[in-house]
Structure 1
Amino acid sequence: MNPRGNPGTGSGKLSGNETVRKWAVLALKIVVSVSALAFLLTRMDLRESLGLLAGSGKSMWALALLFLMVSQAVTTWRWHILLVPYGFILPRLKVMKIYWVGLFFSLFLPGIVGGDVVKTYYVAGSWKAAPTALFTLIADRTIGVAGMLLYAAVGLSATWKAFPPWMAAGVAAMIAIFYPALIYLPRLSVPLLALVKKLRNIPRDRLFIYWDRPLPALKAWGLSLIVHLCLVAAHVAMGRSLGLGL
């Protein structure tokens, strides 16, 4: 265990070419983001948009912001729970700081990969431990999708007349495939593990730790339900602040 409290070792230093490439990619992302923002601003009536916001309900916006902040805090907690089984023993506050830094890159740079790279590196502390840290992020997103699908099923069942039949059938099919595949992933992945040499050399208890000790994953799944509930409440509050009949 290194001083950062994770299972990785190594200097994590980048070569000269890698450093140049990293900054070049970052500069390109910034240029694309600024260009996209400028394009949107030229295609919208800024005065009308500002007037709409000025006439909206301030209390509902404050409530929406509160729900969004709570959802992000719970998301950080969820990721922290998933980090611990893999040996990333970090204070929850530090994980929250890393998460917010990654969120900044995800929101203001094209794509979500940049934010994941930032979070992975700062949690791992070295590129050698980065794959393990990235796996926890993948698990976090997968569990988040599991919670979202459950809410989609509940929402469609409660308001099924408002949606076309194919949409309800699609959500039902996704749940019928996603949850069993997630639960039985260790068994389903046996052929893949036999074919891929790098995966074959990784001890099974490192690959399937969430299945061998499912309590952290179950806790994370429960927290994902809270996250999505907060997001729904935030969007309802924003809609009401703009006068929508929600």
Structure 2
Amino acid sequence: MVSPAYAERVENKPGNESLVSSPPMQVVEENQSASDVDSTQLKSLPIIGGLANLAKKIRLSKQDKLKLKLSFSALMFASLFIFGKVDLSKSWEVALQSNGWYLTAAVAFFLGSVGINAKRWQLLADAVGLRKPFLALLQYCYVGLFFNLFLPSTVGGDFSRGYYLSKGTGKYKSAFYSVLADRTVGIAVLFLFATAGILAGPAGHLPWKLKLPILLGTAGIFLVLPFAPKLCHMLLGADNKITKRFENSAVKVYWHDRKLVLSALFLSVVLQLVIVLCHLTIG
């Protein structure tokens, strides 16, 4: 028979964990997720609360935002010369030796080409329900040109144009469609001019490995692309996602409104002619 004193010594023995009562533990339900925690509890955390307070303090006025944008633009423009992408001394030397009238005409042609591009984009954006003033789209085009200078491709400029066009509207897909259509119409006219140079110009002596992609690209743009919705419906079926995209999204207007497409193509032809004049006056 075990005495009460021996039992008390066994219960208080350090290594005997089974007989020692454990402290109460906080039980967390398995089905509790992060979404169950409200914003008040998050803000009570030191890190989250500190970031929230910092975000409230960093509220720039319109003048401060304008100063920040101008400073950033000046810094990026200066980086062209600092990092050697543009030789400042060489550029200044060429500018001094050039004819002032031709240089002024080249600048005027360049500015005019941006205006034509903005007008073409305005037509395509209006067609998908994004109606913006011409001056606003002109500003977006200049912003896109700015980003094209510092990024390896024109994707950055197109992304910025789509962002500013859709800002405050929520129509991100429609903005993307308008930018894509604007780019497609411009490329179509470039292919058309290249084909004309091959068939009736000095580019006819080029090897076929260079001429064939241009001719096939031109045929694809002007002979296949206009019938893309019907081809998708015929080859992929009416229930295909691509077919439904053509039939049920805002992009379908570019295949149904021929007057819109012809107007955009006409402006693209004028735009390319103005760019040619710009290069002629510079050269």
TM-score (normalizing by structure 1): 0.72
In the TM superposition, residue 207 of structure 1 has moved relative to its aligned partner by 3.2
Q: Deviations over 1:172-193 (max 9, x none)?
A: 2221222112211112333287
Corresponding letter in the other structure for 1:177: G
Preserved contact between residue 121 and residue 127 of structure 1 (Cα < 8 Å): no
2:225 aligns with one of 173, 177, 182: 182
Within a 5 Å distance, the mapping from 1:108-187 to structure 2 comes to: 108-126=150-168, 128-156=170-198, 157-160=200-203, 163-187=206-230
Q: SS where residue 89 of structure 1 aligns? A: coil
The higher radius of gyration belongs to 2
Q: Which has the higher mean CA deviation after the structures are superposed, 144-153 or 133-142?
A: 144-153
1:83-108 CA distances to partner (integer Å, 9 max, x unpaired)? 11111122222222222223222324
Summarize the Cα distance change of 1:52–1:100 in structure 2 as closer, same or farther, 3 Å threshold.
closer
C-alpha displacement of 1:145: 0.7
Query: Cα offset for 1:45?
Result: 6.5
Q: Which of residues 93, 118, 130 is equivalent to 1:88? A: 130
| Aligned counterpart in structure 1 of residue 263 of structure 2, from 215, 219, 222 | 219
Unaligned 5+ runs, structure 1: 1-15, 20-29, 240-246
Cα deviation, 1:127-154, whole Å, max 9, x if unaligned, reads: 7411111111000000001111111122
Unaligned runs of 5+ in 2: 1-50, 56-73
Quick one: which amino acid aligns to residue 180 of structure 1? L
Question: Over the residues paired in the alignment, what is the CA RMSD in angstroms?
Answer: 3.2
User: Structure 1 residues 58, 84: CA separation in 2 closer, same or farther (over 3 Å shift)?
Assistant: same
Q: 1:36 to 1:200 in 2, by over 3 A?
A: same
Q: Give the partner amino acid of 2:160.
A: V
Name the CA distance, whole Å, in 2 between partners of 1:201 and 1:148: 27
Corresponding position of 1:6: none
8 Å contact 2:130–2:174 — kept in the other structure?
no
Give the number of equivalent residue pairs: 209
**2:226 maps to amino acid:** I
Q: Is the 8 A contact 1:105 1:114 kept in 2?
A: yes
Q: Secondary structure at the match of 2:84?
A: helix
Q: Deviations over 1:43-79 (max 9, x none)?
A: x865455323321222211111111111110000000
